[in-house]
Each structure stands twice: as C-alpha cells, then as structure tokens.
Chain A
Amino acid sequence: MPNASSLPEPLLKVRGLTAGYDAGPVLFGIDLEVAPAELIALVGANGAGKSTLLGVLSGLVRATSGTVSLGGRDVTNARPEVHVRNGVAHVPQGRRLFGTMSVERNLILGAYLRHDREVRDDLTRVLGYFPALKDKLSRDAGTLSGGEQQMVAIGRGMMARPKLLMVDELSLGLAPNVVERLIDVVQQINRDGTALLLVEQDVLVALDAADRAYVLENGRVALSGPAAEVRDDPGVRKAYLGL
C-alpha cells in the first residue's frame, strides 16, 4: 500500500457527501468511515438525514457531490443492484416485506441477484440467527408479529451475503425484550464478520451495542467517536438521551 498509514483500508469511505431531494439538500458534506466488521451507530433527530444517508449508500438517493467508496472502489451513484452486488444490504425502516408472500420467499428474494449454489446454505445460516422463523417459513410475512417481521427483514438483508448491513430503525414499534434479542443477533452477525451501520432512535440501545458512533445534526456530522465517548458527551446526553 502506498499509504503510510497503518490503519487498514476502510470498507466504506464517504467523503464530502451532499445529497437531497427536489425540496432541497438534506446532507451537507458528510465524512464517514466503516472498517470491515465494525459496528457503527448512526444517531440523530428525526429529519437529521440518517435515512437519506442510507439511501445514498444503497443507491436509492443520488449524491449531488462527494464520493462513496467501498473496498477502495468509487461507487458513488452506482445503481442499487450494483451496491447489493458489491456487498451492501439495506434493511429499510418499517421493514417493507412482501406481506402476501411467504417468509421463505421473502428471505430468498434477498438473494435475488445471486446465482451461486449456496443460497440454500445461507438460508440455513440465516435461520440459525433467527430460529423463531424456522416453523413459520410457509406463513405469509404479513401475518407475523412486528418482531418476527423485523427478523425476516434483517434475514433478507443477510441473504445477499453483505459485507455491510445497514439497518434503519431496528427497534421501531417493537417490545423492549424483542429489541434486546434483535440487538443480540445483530451483534452476533457483526462478530461473524459483517460490518453494521445501525440507525436507531433508541440512542442508548444503539450506543451500548456499537463500536463507534456518528451523530448527525441538520445533515452534518456533529460528533463522531467511540460509542462510549459519544454516550458520555454532555450535548448528546441532553439532546438525544434526555438525561
């Protein structure tokens, strides 16, 4: 490597990213990095730009300037399917399952772009993370409880064999003990080698689980660092934890 730095090349590297919608820009010059197998929490108020950032990283929202690189390759404004092939899976807010299709088909659809012979093995692996889904494979996804639907959504993301899994609002509408279990699984997925970008309104839950955290405010990174430091930051405690 020509770089003198001893740090490994980050898996994901975002530099000066600006993006938005017809109504106006939402993100203003975001810098962010995710190392391989790192667990990153992305926190901030509603409207701060968290979901928009995930949208840019999965190709659903166009960057107007700045760069996104994955594994050293520039992937700025690549199409969504290219991002998925490159190893980025997006578990959207509200889960967005195909409600009238079976749990199994929803999961298999996560491997839509794959043509290898290991899709079935990966289904077994995903069910290892979510054993509760094993006897519900033939049920319509829409008939599952909210927690089970979130399992399917995360499982569907894993079926793409991502290097980076992005989960938007894991805890939305879920019972506390279900959130606890899902966080355990997400941490296990992370320990097994998948990097994670976790957007979460329950800021304390996210910061407890993460290695590092980024705080977005009005489309800018207001603070970043080790999750424990961010959790103890007086501004964060006041503005997000309500302590």
Chain B
Amino acid sequence: MSAAATPAQLELRGVTKRFGGVAAVDGVTFEIAKGDIVGIIGPNGAGKTTLLNCISGVFHLDGGDIKLNGSSIAGMAPHRVARLGIGRTFQIVKPFGSMTARENVGIGALFGSAQARRGVKQAFALADEVLALVGLKAKADQPVSALTIPDRKRLEVARAVATRPQLLLLDEVMAGLNNVEIDEALEMVRSVHATGVTVLLIEHVMRVIVGVCRRAIVLDSGQVLAQGEPEVVLRDERVIQAYLGERYAKRLKSS
C-alpha cells in the first residue's frame, strides 16, 4: 500500500447518525475501491439503511465524513449526490404506476449527471439500453402495474442505473425472491457491474453475498462488527452469534 495510491472511490470516516439519543450509525469507517462489489449485512436495526441514507444525502451526518473520489459529499442534498454519480434503489419500490417501464427508466436518464444532460429522445434511447441490460427489454412498453415483483425490482435497479452512476447503492433488491429468481437477479447485478459501475448492496440473503460480493461488511448496533471476504466473514463466530444463527451457519457450510 503506497501513500500516493489513488484515493478510494468511496471513503467513510467515523460516520455517525443519531436519532434522539440513539446512534443508529456509530463511527463507521470503511473504503470502497472503484469497480468493487461490496455487501453490507447485519441484524435488523443495525443501521444498514440509515448508512445508505447517509451516503445518498437523505440524512445529514452528526459526525464523520464521506468522500467520493476524494471530495467530501457530507451535507449535500440527495439530488446533488445523485448528480455526482451515486445512484440508489429503495427497499419499497415506488415506480410511476401508470407509466410504462421505458418511461420510468427514461425519467432516471433525464435526471442523470449534470455533464450528460439529455434530451427526451436521447433519454429514451438510454432507457432502452438500460432496460436491455437488466433484462426488461421485452417489457419496455408495459405499464408498471403489469410487471411481476421480480420485474419491478429490475425496474428499480434500471431507474437508478439510468442516472449513469459511478457507484450504485442497492437496498435489498432481492428481498422476496426465491433462490432461482435470486440467481436471475444476480446475473443482472453482474451485468450492471460489468459496465464499470461500483456496487454497494444491502442484503439478508447470503446467496447474494456469496454469489457476487468480493467483500462483506457486517454492521451491528451501528458499528462495523467485521469485514473481509464473504467466506471468511460468514464463518466469523461473532457474525454467527449476532446475525446468522447457528442453524443457518451450519446450512451455509454444508451448501
């Protein structure tokens, strides 16, 4: 490791967010290199989504700093963070229900990063590209209300990808999918990642963490409990205690 190395794409230093007296995120420090694909896991209430909200500008920090490519983004409004190249999805998807898949994704493309302002025509061309990338090409003209749950999750990812992010934050996009649907969704994440996008994702489904992540970060009570390669982290006794449970850990080992 040389001191002159390029800065991490995303850098969190002592990030803290309190609600009343409770520190939901409590001094979280980690870095994510460009092109990496990292999973955040941890118990319900550990602060995972709060952390995502800190990164994407939804919450102001009560302490610490967040840097994108070496420049602080702490305190920036969400739309500015998005324009700087951090895209995100939401756990509860809220597409524009009366519009088609293409129109929904087109809105993401229209919003896009400031250097790449697009006209409507270009935005829709990009939307088609992104829809193909996430496997929704055939359903581009369908109203969102006609899409299945797995397809709505794809659409949620597509809307974020259409803003052309350098870093994509995915908040439980595989929740509610069965193993086979998850495997299909993993292919989509790999495709997006292969276009050069860094991915930071939250999941409770270990099939996802083991399937695509190069690194896993475990949050517990707002703090980093462990981080490293998924195979190592998921065997960590503290992680089994706080999060996985004995039976699950056993099943994970045997599979």
Contacts and interface: CB of A to CB of B under 8 A. Distances in A.
B176 A175 contact: no
Contacts, number: 83
A175 B43 contact: yes
A47 B181 CA distance: 12
A46 B149 contact: yes
Chain B contact residues, majority secondary structure: helix
A146 interface: yes
Given A146-B44, A176-B204, A177-B245, A240 B179 contact: yes
A242 B148 contact: no
Interface residues of B, number: 30
A46 B44 contact: no
Contact of B43 (A177, A201, A239, A242): A177
A113 interface: no
Contacts of A7: none
Interface residues on A, range: 20 to 34
Contact of B150 (A46, A175, A177, A181): A46
Contacts of B224: none
Given A23-B146, A173-B91, A46 B243 contact: no
B175 A172 contact: yes
Contacts of B66: none
Interface in B171-221: 172, 175-183, 204, 206-207
12 contacts: A45-B178, A46-B149, A47-B148, A146-B44, A147-B44, A177-B43, A177-B244, A177-B245, A177-B248, A178-B43, A180-B247, A239-B180
Interface of A: 23, 43, 45-47, 93, 145-148, 169, 172-181, 201-204, 238-243
